[in-house]
Amino acid sequence: MTSLLGRDRSDRVYRRVLTGFALILPSLILIILGVLFFNALPALERFGPSFLWTSTWDPVAEVYGAAPMIFGTLASSMLALLIAVPLALSVAIFLTEFSPRWLRQPVAFLVELLAAIPSVVYGMWGIFVLIPFLRSYVVPPLKALFGWTPFLQGVFYGNSLLAGGVILAIMVVPYIAAVSREVLLAVPASQREAALAMGATRWEAVRSAVLPYGRAGLIGAIILGLGRALGETMAVTMVIGNRHDISLSLLQPAYTMAAAIANEFSEATTATYQSALMEVGLLLFVLTVTVNAIARILIWRVARGAAVGSKAL
Partner 1 sequence: MSAFRRHLTSRVMTALVVVLSFTAVLALLLILGNLIAKGASSVDWAFFTQSPVPAGQSGGGVANAIVGTAVIVGLAALIGVPIGVGAGMYLAEYGGGRLGFLVRFIADVLNGTPSIVVGIVGWTFIVKPTSHFSALAGSVALAILMIPMLARTTEEMVRLVPNSLREAALALGYARWRTALKIVARTAMGGIVTGCLVGIARIAGETAPLLFTALGNLNFTLNVNQPMQTLSLQIYVYATGPFDEWHRLAWASALVLMGLVLVISLAARWVTRQRYGSIR
Sites for partner 1 among residues 143-182 (CB under 8 A): 170, 173, 177
Report how far residue 3's alpha carbon sits from residue 13's, in angstroms, rounded to the nearest whole number: 15
Q: Which stretch binds partner 1 (CB under 8 A): 18-26, 74-82, 189-197, 209-217?
A: 18-26
Q: CA angle, 161 as apex, 74 and 250 as ends, to 5°?
A: 105
Asked whether position 82 contacts partner 1 by CB under 8 A, the answer is no
Residue 241 bridge partners (DSSP): 254
Of 63, 67, 74, 124, the one binding partner 1 by CB under 8 A? 124
Q: Which stretch binds partner 1 (CB under 8 A): 61-69, 184-192, 208-216, 281-289?
A: 281-289
Distances (CA, A) of 110 to 13, 104, 113, 116: 44, 10, 5, 10
Asked whether position 67 contacts partner 1 by CB under 8 A, the answer is no
What is the per-residue burial (b if ≥16 Cβ within 10 Å, else e) of 164-178?
A: bbbbbbbbbbbbbbb
CA 169 to chain centre: 9
Say how many residues touch partner 1, by CB under 8 A: 89
Asked whether position 5 contacts partner 1 by CB under 8 A, the answer is no
Q: Which residue, 158 or 249, has its beta carbon nearer to partner 1?
A: 158
Of 87, 186, 216, 246, the one binding partner 1 by CB under 8 A? 87
Q: Which residue, 254 or 291, has its beta carbon nearer to partner 1?
A: 291
What type of residue sits at position 155? V
Report how far residue 151's alpha carbon sits from residue 146's, in angstroms, rounded to the nearest whole number: 8
Report how far residue 46's alpha carbon sits from residue 260's, in angstroms, rounded to the nearest whole number: 20
Q: Which of residues 27-66 bind partner 1 (CB under 8 A)?
A: 28-29, 31-32, 35-36, 39
Asked whether position 248 contacts partner 1 by CB under 8 A, the answer is no
Q: Which stretch binds partner 1 (CB under 8 A): 10-18, 48-56, 145-153, 209-217?
A: 10-18
CA 22 to chain centre: 26
Asked whether position 301 contacts partner 1 by CB under 8 A, the answer is no
Contact 258, 44 (CB under 8 A): no
Q: Which stretch binds partner 1 (CB under 8 A): 64-72, 74-82, 105-113, 141-149?
A: 105-113
Asked whether position 10 contacts partner 1 by CB under 8 A, the answer is yes
